[in-house]
Amino acid sequence: MANLSVNIGSTTFKNPIFVASGTFGYGTENPELVDISKLGAIVTKSITLNPREGNPPPRIVETSSGMINSIGLANIGVEKYISNMLPVYEEMDTPIIMNIAGSSMTEYMDIMKKVEAVSSSIVGYEINISCPNVKEGGMEFGVDCAMTEKLTGKLRKLTDRLLIMKLSPNVTDIAAIATSSENGGANAVSAINTVVGMSINHRSRFSDIYTTFGGLSGPAIKPVGLACVHKVYNAVNIPIIGIGGIVNSTDVIEYFLAGSCSVQVGTANFRNPGITEIILNELNNYLDEKGIDSISSLIGSVKTHD
């Protein structure tokens, strides 16, 4: 059987199939639907300093080969995450990556300080600088190189755990934002968050989403994700976690060829919460059939015509 383990910073993950933030709750909701011990890692829903109700409904709509969401970072807040979730993670043998979102640099830092002040088994943080669905913060940081580098640097000083910046595709130059993350001391970047989108009901003439715009995800954005990952791969030396429209093992291979060292499965979990186990089995079979000893050997090995 091929070696599926991957390294990010000094952490080794048993396989490269992670579940994406916002598509798997806090990692404990689906025990009878998926064997979470088989996952490479769980990235939990974005946590803010205070609990949030999120945006008014409708906040999810299905679109061609994808979906649009505008959840607005609904979450339990950091205090409840610490008291209710961290003890549960101690009992789990699946690595947990905590996703953090904030409306100011101070908020991101305060959340991390609170989590770092208690004992926990989480392996790292994914920093959401790319949420398109909130008025303050979120994407505001991820579209600006100087802010990205400053925030990354400030968070770097607060933790020795993995620090992963989650990048937005809704920028002019994603490679520049990735470089700023690397310069600030990030161990890795994840790419991509959702693509700004809109859906309209031609009968009612209403926007399908309350906030008018939302974030498009699913197979519709896979080509965007691949392009972003490859641009980032050509620009930085830190690992890239590929995200965007992954539904099967072929998609995983393509993300590795583009430059990813692991992937996150997102929207596909809504259709089948057990999809990651299927992808993992397919991936093992694919690598065995092709005689590939280690999945890491594929990273960035796409052939281009130039």
Interface residues toward ligand SIN, by CB under 6 A: 22, 46, 69-73, 128, 130-131, 133, 193-194, 215
Work out how close the CB of 133 gets to ligand SIN at its nearest, in angstroms, rounded to a whole number.
3
Which secondary structure element, helix H or strand E, spans residue 180, and what is its range? helix 174-184
Q: Which is nearer to ligand SIN, 142 or 296 (CB)?
A: 142
Which residue, 4 or 71, has its beta carbon nearer to ligand SIN?
71
Catalytic entry in 131, 145, 228, 261: 131
- How many Å apart are CA 294 and CA 288, to the nearest integer? 10
CB of 194 to ligand SIN, least distance (A): 5
Which of 193, 199 has the CB closer to ligand SIN? Answer: 193
Nearer to ligand SIN, 144 or 277 (CB): 144
Secondary structure of residue 75 in the 3-state scheme: strand
Instruction: Report yes or no: 207 and 169 within 8 Å, Cβ to Cβ.
Output: no
Minimum Å distance from CB 276 to ligand SIN? 20
CA dist., res. 203 & res. 234, Å (int)? 45
What is the edge-to-edge ordering of all strands in the sheet holding 66-69? 60-63, 66-69, 213-217, 195-198
83: DSSP letter? I
Taking the C-alpha atoms of residue 79 and residue 53, their distance in angstroms, rounded to an integer, is: 15
Q: How far is the CB of 132 from ligand SIN (least distance, A)?
A: 6
Cα separation values, 207 from 58, 215, 271, Å: 10, 14, 23
How far apart are the two ends of the chain, measured CA to CA in Å?
Answer: 34
> Which residue, 143 or 295, is less far from ligand SIN as judged by CB?
143
Neighbour count for residue 250 (Cβ, 10 Å)? 13
Catalytic: 131? yes
Give the nearer residue to ligand SIN in terms of CB position, either 129 or 226: 129
Q: Which residues pair with 165 in a beta bridge?
A: 127, 189
For residues 185 and 236, what is the distance between their CA atoms, to the nearest angstrom? 12
Per DSSP bridges, beta strands 213-217 and 240-243 are unpaired
Closest separation in Å from C-beta 6 to ligand SIN: 23
Kindly state the smallest distance separating residue 21's Cβ from ligand SIN, in Å. 7
Catalytic residues: 131
